Amino acid sequence: MGNHKSRRGRATGLLGGASLAALCAFGINANAQAQETAKPEDSTVEAVVVTGSFLRNIRQEDIASPTVSIDQAQVAKTGVLSVGDLLRYVPQNVGSMGGVQDLAKGGQDSKDTRSANLRGLGAGATLVLMNGRRVVKSDGYVNLNSLTPAIAIARVETVLDGASATYGADAVAGVFNIITDARFSGAKASAQYTYVEGSPAYQVQAMVGAQGERAHLVVAGSYTDISRLQNSERDVTNIYIPSSGAGANPGSFTLTARPRTSTGGDVVINNVNYSTLYDTYKTSANTLAVVDPNCGSAATKSVFTPSAAGPGYAIGSCAFSFQAQNPIRGASQNYLLHAEGDYLLTDNHTLFFETSINHQDSQRYGVPSYSQNHNGATPPVVPASNPYNPFGVAVYYVGRPIGSEGLAGTMYNIQRNEVNQFHNVLGAKGSLFADWRYTATFTSSRSTNIFRDHDTDMNLFQAALNGYGGANCNYRFNGPGVGAVAGQGNCYYLSPFAKDNASQNAAILHNIQTEVVTRTQRDYLIGDVVVDGTLGEIKLPGGPISAAFGVQSRREGQKITYSDLLKSGYAAFGGPSVDLDGERTINSVFGEFNFPIIEGLNVDVALRHEDYGGFKTTDPKVAINYRPVESLSFRASASTAFQAPSLESTSSGPISNNVVNITDPVQGNTTFRTVTTVGNPDLQPQTAKVHNFGATWLPVSRASLSLDWWTFKYDNQIAIENGQAVINANPTGSQVIRDQSGAAQTVLVRSYNAKSGTQTSGLDLMATYAFDWGASTFTLRDSLSYLLKYDIDTGSGVYDGVGRRNNAITSPLTAAAAPRYRNTAGVDWSMGRHQASATVRYVSGVEDDYAIAVTAKAATKVKSWTVLDLQYGVGLGEDERYRLTVGMINAFDKAPPSAKYTGYLQALADPFGRQSYVRLEARF
């Protein structure tokens, strides 16, 4: 298998759930089909509200916004195991966050999460709804894998233009609405096993529904197990990425005096006389920095690079690649439970509820220890009394505390995440008068993430260097306690020298690696009332005017608490952190009108006003849909949209810590450094102007062709500084924290409002054609997204990002890779109880501008990627109540194209290789 280097037989997975896949691939026909399959058995149930509107009596085909809808049958054709993984089939989705590593963008991801990111405008610019209602965010975006079991999904509707006039904040790039099957009756279950070489996965799920005389109840649940996949298991990620300075092991040492032996002689190690070396190359401060004497040895797998001004040995940098020990993604165990029901209180009023529960445990296997980026003003000192110190004088140490050999029993540090999410809805709906109806709901949504990691306690690290290491040594925060003697009894010396790595006392290493815990809780409390109907006798030639009015009050809360070590500033890598406890209340009023000017011509006008207390915003939207003949329709929409800054981003202290491989222009070394994002109380909302023009043509029966031109223009866009750009601009400024030796420890970055912001436009082309051939039915489908423009504001200028990776030195972290073409095409076949499909996914290549100036020409390119997915299914049993499906994602095992630093570009491709699956379904 060309994509794989080693075999491990662990598990990974991709869950089969409600798909966006067909979202674009099935086009207009999908709208009609989804509408039909979603109709409840009881024809007296009120009309369905389509996504993007509060009006109940408006047909999907009369909505002017580009909206696509698919049902669960279409989703099943993809074979994936999660809604998040489904995004790979959506050409309009660019660079989702979560679930896989993206160190180039700031670090590690230890959870099975995934965001939507329509048009590449940022994960927070796509509003995710479940049954038309907001769901609390996790890590700055709604986790698509936490909402509901895939088996419970009736359809997925996506609006591909701005919808802030309807839903408020965040609906800039569009809306992604998961709609559950609330009218299901009976029972069904499914099980799927997905084999990814070195990492299989499995999922089981079930659903039951019961209908009474006045009540209906549906309950669904699922369990998904995904096993870890390490960089060492794929050629494309098992690459050499050097880490030096504070991120190296072997590390480096600064001699504070002339080295000498216990008898006063010269110190000679590996034929290098360090005493005469000191005499020749010491600085004016009488110090000399040297690398570990074992740097470059085969045992350490490190690389020595001599200093240009040195003798060619000992003086320079020592680098080691920990890339193989990092994961592509972690292991996870995901539980989902969804229940909903309603009770007919009277003939005109119904009570309803909805509950979703998600629990996830995940484990990220990564490097055994982190860079010591928080040394304080003075790096750790190895005293002359430390018996492992070969120099005979005190030396400063810069490097990781634990090398690639890891801790006793494991070569990994295991990060653990526990995620709990609850989403509860209580509501009432019914008739008011004439054809006017109401819906009143109260939503409570909470996400809690408990993140457990390990970090080096620099106090304990220094104590161990002084001979007071070990859990049973009576050492306190203010020094050794009664009976504690350096290097005696239960007190041990720690050696930071590579020569002792293999024989190091594991008890000392475990003791200095303190568990740190970060607990993040986010809450939504939302109350809203919507009424809709027609304006009585006021009619236009096309029919009555429909209207909807509503009010909403939304309280958002966030609490973050950190372990004492992270808050103290003595953690080697994380922190210093500050607890956060904030909330805000947003009050909104909104309205919508649909004017049927004449038969076939509808104008929809929506307006929403939101008050955040500190700022207010009013957003309008006008959309026109014109159908001159049954086979041809035109649509146009114009709107403004906005996205409010998050609660944490407007605080005044540090709000997050990431890890980024940063080159220090002063010392010339490259290592993983802590990048701390600091809040900005002056942040203002980012706004956008959104336009869409499109047409749909039905040339013959069962054929459709749809074309849309769209454009988004941000103003005042919220962006985050690039850490490398900050240190390049002012290496010794206040945003770069250095220790006494001059080593860069931490880079501070801030959120800011760019002068303008991202401006992007493009074309969406969707086509379908179904025909019969004998006893068989074939459907041809294609969905293409063509990017015309993707201008990125760096804060100091704007550059054209189309066809680029957009990871240059000054590219904001919000910038996404921007391939010119994304295309999903396929053919479906059915005959009786047999079905099959083949899908080709294509993404064009981009220039690899990683870590170069935005004005520079990239020397390499991330090539295009094309994969083929295949599936066959057959109904079993007399009434086909059982179904067996087999398939392959990436059937030809196509490896992702190579990219600098990360090995591959997760926004364009995935490194999993061929994914073979078998699924068994049953209904009762």
106: in domain: no
What does the pLDDT read at residue 12?
Answer: 32
Distance in angstroms (rounded) separating the CA atoms of residues 691 and 711: 5
Exposed, middle or buried, 555 (CB in 10 Å: 0-12/13-18/19+)?
middle
Let me know if 88 is exposed, middle or buried by CB neighbors in 10 A (0-12, 13-18, 19+): buried
- Tell me whether residue 845 is in a domain: no
- Residue 402 has a pLDDT of 85
**Got the DSSP string for 583-648?**
EEEEEEEEEEEEEEEETTEEEEEEEEEEE-SS-EEEEEEEEEEEEEETTEEEEEEEEEEEEPPPTG
| Nearest in space to 814 (alpha carbons), one of 121, 140, 162 | 121
Q: Provide mean pLDDT across the span 362-373.
A: 87
Using the predicted structure, report yes or no on whether residue 7 has a pLDDT greater than 80.
no
Maximum pairwise Cα distance, the chain: 108
Q: Is pLDDT of 313 > 70?
A: yes
Q: Would you say residue 102 has pLDDT above 70? A: no
Q: Which residue has the tokens 């080691």?
A: 320
715 in a structural domain: no
Q: For residues 405 and 387, is the Cβ–Cβ distance under 8 A?
A: no
> Could you give the number of structural domains in the chain?
1
Which whole number is the average pLDDT over 274-280?
97
Confidence of residue 110 (pLDDT cuts 50, 70, 90): low
Using pLDDT thresholds of 50, 70 and 90, give the confidence band for residue 204: very high
Most confident of 641-650, 680-689, 911-920: 911-920
Dist CA 453 CA 417 (whole Å) = 9
- Using DSSP's 3-state secondary structure scheme, residue 150 falls into helix
Given pLDDT bands bounded at 50, 70 and 90, which one contains residue 61? low
**Cβ(197)–Cβ(7) under 8 Å?**
yes
What percent of the chain stands above pLDDT 90?
64
pLDDT value of position 428: 98
In a domain, 324, yes or no: yes
How is residue 573 annotated by DSSP?
S
**pLDDT of 349:** 97
- Check pLDDT > 90 for residue 390: yes
| 521 vs 660, more confident | 521
Please check whether residue 303 lies inside any domain of the structure: yes
Q: What is the mean pLDDT of residues 483-488?
A: 95
Where residue 762 falls among pLDDT bands split at 50, 70, 90? very high
- pLDDT tier at 558, thresholds 50, 70, 90: very high
CA distance 21 to 896: 20
List, in order, residues 6 or more apart from 774 with CB less than 8 Å away.
Answer: none
Q: Which residues contact 636 (CB under 8 A, 6 or more apart)?
A: 64, 623, 624, 691, 692, 693, 694
Residue 130 vs residues 22, 420, 714: alpha-carbon distances, Å: 18, 17, 26
* DSSP-assigned beta bridge partners for residue 656: 677
253: in domain: yes
Using alpha carbons, select from 244, 80, 216, 104 the residue that is nearest to residue 905: 104
Which residues form the domain of 387? 245-328+367-413+466-515
**711 in helix, strand or coil?**
strand
- pLDDT at residue number 39: 38
pLDDT digits (tens, 9 = 90+) for 749-761: 988 888 888 999 9
DSSP characters over 756-774: S--EEEEEEEEEEEEEEET
CA distance 513 to 102: 25
Is the model more confident about 67 or about 235?
235
User: Which pLDDT belongs to residue 26?
Assistant: 38
Give the rounded percent of residues in the chain with a pLDDT score beyond 70.
92
Phi, psi of 35 (to 5 degrees): -65, -40
The answer to whether the peptide bond before residue 306 is cis (omega within 30 degrees of 0) is no
Indicate whether 386 belongs to any domain.
yes
587 C-beta neighbours (distance < 10 Å), count: 15
**Residue 866 and residue 891 in contact, taking contact as beta carbons nearer than 8 Å:** no
Residue 506, domain member (yes or no): yes
- Residue 411's pLDDT band, with cuts at 50, 70 and 90, is confident
> Would you state the pLDDT for residue 121?
86
